[in-house]
Amino acid sequence: MPQPRQRAESLSMTATVPRQLVHRAAVAETLLTGWRRTAPDRFSVTAQWPRTHGLHVSADRSAYDPLLVVETVRQSGMLIAHTEYQVPLDHHFVLQEFEVRTLPQHLAVGAVPAELTVDVVFVDVQYRGRRPVGARYTAEVLRDGDRVATTRVAFTCTSEPVYRRLRGGRTAATAVPLPLPPPLPAVTVGRALPADVVLAPSGRPDLWRLRVDTAHPVFFDHPLDHVPGTLLLEAARQAVRARTAGTRSPASFRIAFYRYAELDEPAWIAAADGDGADVQVVGTQGESTVFTCTVGTAAG
């Protein structure tokens, strides 16, 4: 049954929102601090970014990673879906499309944690009966009045019984992940730790095997029966760094997801030059395309 609506006024701005509302197990991975409705289908969400993070802050603690924007906007959409559109907490969300464009000059780490405002507009809510089953939304991320990023997102949501039927009996308990292949050198993909590398060499400079570590505390904050979209975005990010020998850094992503990436089958990540400074990244598994992603890059 629908969950009771929670209002932003009941939440302290000195604490995070309940982690269940953003589908996180760890409070430390919950980035949002509150929300309020500003108009029909328009909402203002507040967030805080820590000055250090195991994955989304550079090793020298000077810059936030663009994928921190992705996670903030992902959490914002879930929060609003649950609290304002009455999507039950046990429903599963499936990303279909995610587009984000960041302004790197506003991603610098400052002397205190960054305080963000996310202006969210739900533009296409789809219903089955009285219950939402999907939506599109836009989000503008602001920091001290400066635009950090603009995003567009499309997702579907489904009940637990329907999700289980779609997954054909696969569960987090029954899906057996493949053994981890040796990673690329961490420096090659712009990471400090080998444990954060999600690509393994294939013998080709433009193709890599996906490494899926289900014990990773960020990508697998809680058990899953498939590879999460955030890990696939990280794979696209690392593919760009490897493809360009570290001379280009991702600044924007436009990704479309076509199917679940399974834990017990090898998946492959390929990268090719796109238009201008873009890099085209494709993820495949078996004979199927899992995702396609256009990554816009900046020097450095």
Residue 174 belongs to a domain: no
> According to the 3-state scheme, what is the secondary structure of 116-168?
EEEEEEEEEEEEECCEEEEEEEEEEEEECCEEEEEEEEEEEEECHHHHHHHCC
Give the domain range for residue 55.
8-166
Check whether residue 107 and residue 32 sit in a common domain.
Answer: yes
Q: Is residue 3 part of a domain?
A: no
Mark 127-147 as b/e (b = at least 16 C-beta within 10 Å). eeeeebbbbbbebebbbeeee
pTM: 0.94
DSSP state of 105: G
Please say whether the beta carbons of 9 and 36 come within 8 A: yes
pLDDT at 2 over 60: no
| Amino acid identity, position 77 | G
Phi, psi of 72 (to 5 degrees): -65, -45
* Residue 191's CATH number: 3.10.129.10
Both 16 and 96 in one domain: the answer is: yes
Is residue 256 a contact partner of residue 277, using CB atoms and an 8 Å limit? no
* 12 pLDDT above the threshold of 60: no
Q: What is the pLDDT of residue 76?
A: 98
User: CB of 227 within 8 A of CB of 261?
Assistant: yes
Q: Which one-letter amino acid corresponds to residue 94?
A: V
pLDDT digits (tens, 9 = 90+) for 25-42: 999 999 999 999 999 999
Q: How many domains are contained in the chain? A: 2
Exposed, middle or buried, 276 (CB in 10 Å: 0-12/13-18/19+)?
exposed
pLDDT tens, position by position, 61-76: 999 999 999 999 999 9
For 79-109, what is each residue's pLDDT tens digit? 999 999 999 999 999 999 999 999 999 999 9
Residue 37 counted as domain residue? yes
The answer to whether residue 292 is domain-embedded is: yes
- Structural domain includes residue 161: yes
In terms of domains, do 18 and 162 share one?
yes
Are 147 and 86 within one domain? yes
Q: Could you tell me which of 104, 85, 70, 1 has the C-alpha nearest to residue 35?
A: 85
Q: What is the arithmetic mean of pLDDT over 181-208? A: 96
Asked whether residue 238 is domain-assigned, the answer is: yes
Q: Quick one: 261 and 143 in the same domain? A: no
Cα–Cα distance list, 139 to 75, 100, 150, 181, 201 (Å): 11, 9, 6, 37, 36
Instruction: Assess whether 109 and 226 both reside in one domain.
Output: no
* Residue 179 is assigned to a structural domain of this protein: no
Q: What are the structure tokens assigned to 109, written together? A: 């780490």
Dump pLDDT digits (tens) for 277-295.
999 999 999 999 999 999 9
